[in-house]
Amino acid sequence: MRKLLRVDITAPDQGDLAERVEAWLSERTAQGWEEASVDDGAAVRFRVHLEDAPPARDFADEAARDWPALSIAVSTIEEEDWGAAWMAFFTPIEVGSVFEILPPWMEGKDIGDRKPILIEPKMAFGTGHHPTTALCLEAFADCFAAGRIGPGNRFLDLGTGSGILGIGLCKLGLTGVGLDIDPQAVWCAAENLRRNHVEAAMGLAVGGAGSLAEGAVFDIVAANILAAPLVAMAGRLVRHVAPGGVLVLSGILTTQASDVAAAYRAAGLPEPETRESGEWASLVWR
């Protein structure tokens, strides 16, 4: 039975410390993590699960080096125990009135007219619980309802991770491609495409925006990554949005939204629509 390394990072809930830890995790772990309030709300615990291999040990060592003042606990668990824990607390997520994110063992659940997105809550790449995922899916739903996107349109899901955003667009009748610089993310996304029966509608490749053909354009481009790379790639990414197309960006803290928006205005776009969920924001051009 495979072993998993559990790394717990506990940060006092003071100022922006927890936000900085979350941003640090986003830069180093493509997979999701569990986040919980502990010590009667005085602290936030970030829990990461990784396959027990040298890269996971390196991650734990880096956490200890970068956050010497924080409590960092490392333990080893059996994979099936970790999976059982997910099954115990994983709950479906309704996104607006259009999507519902479900684990595979809830396939067949009556969700009315909502479109199911089945995501295996395993080691890597997120399950849809993060607010930025919901912000993006809500933007897709609104664009679909307004007739801005629909069957026959093409999408780009940049930084696809689990593939959840691309799967959502496929469920709306679109076709497209998902890119990720992490080969394991692409493998995970491929599993989820098959699970959702949309593998014929969405291609996958290892790479980033720089791997796209210069003239490739899409009716909707979605990138749920981090503020710094979004700023750096603004000029290139805008060129891949078809005239009259839609651009949805997230993975952005509310404190970073104005800087990201400024980079895209400099690349020729108007002021975006800004949506917020807690400390996170999305920018939408449609």
DSSP 142: H
Q: How far is CA 146 from CA 3, 134, 141, 244, 285, in A?
A: 47, 18, 9, 14, 13
Among 284, 86, 100, 119, CA closest to 193: 119
Among 169, 176, 165, CA closest to 200: 176
Among 195, 124, 199, 131, CA closest to 162: 124
**159 marked as part of a ligand binding site:** yes
Of the chain, the end-to-end C-alpha distance in Å amounts to 48
Sequence-distant (6+) residues with CB within 8 A of 1 are: 78, 79, 80
Classify each residue of 85-113 as buried b or exposed e, where b means 16 or more C-beta atoms within 10 Å of its C-beta.
ebeeebeebebeebbbbbbeebeeeeeee
Helices 17-28, 54-66: axis angle to 10 degrees equals: 150
**196 marked as part of a ligand binding site:** no
**245 marked as part of a ligand binding site:** no
List the binding residues. 133, 159, 180, 224
List the binding residues for S-adenosyl-L-methionine. 133, 159, 180, 224
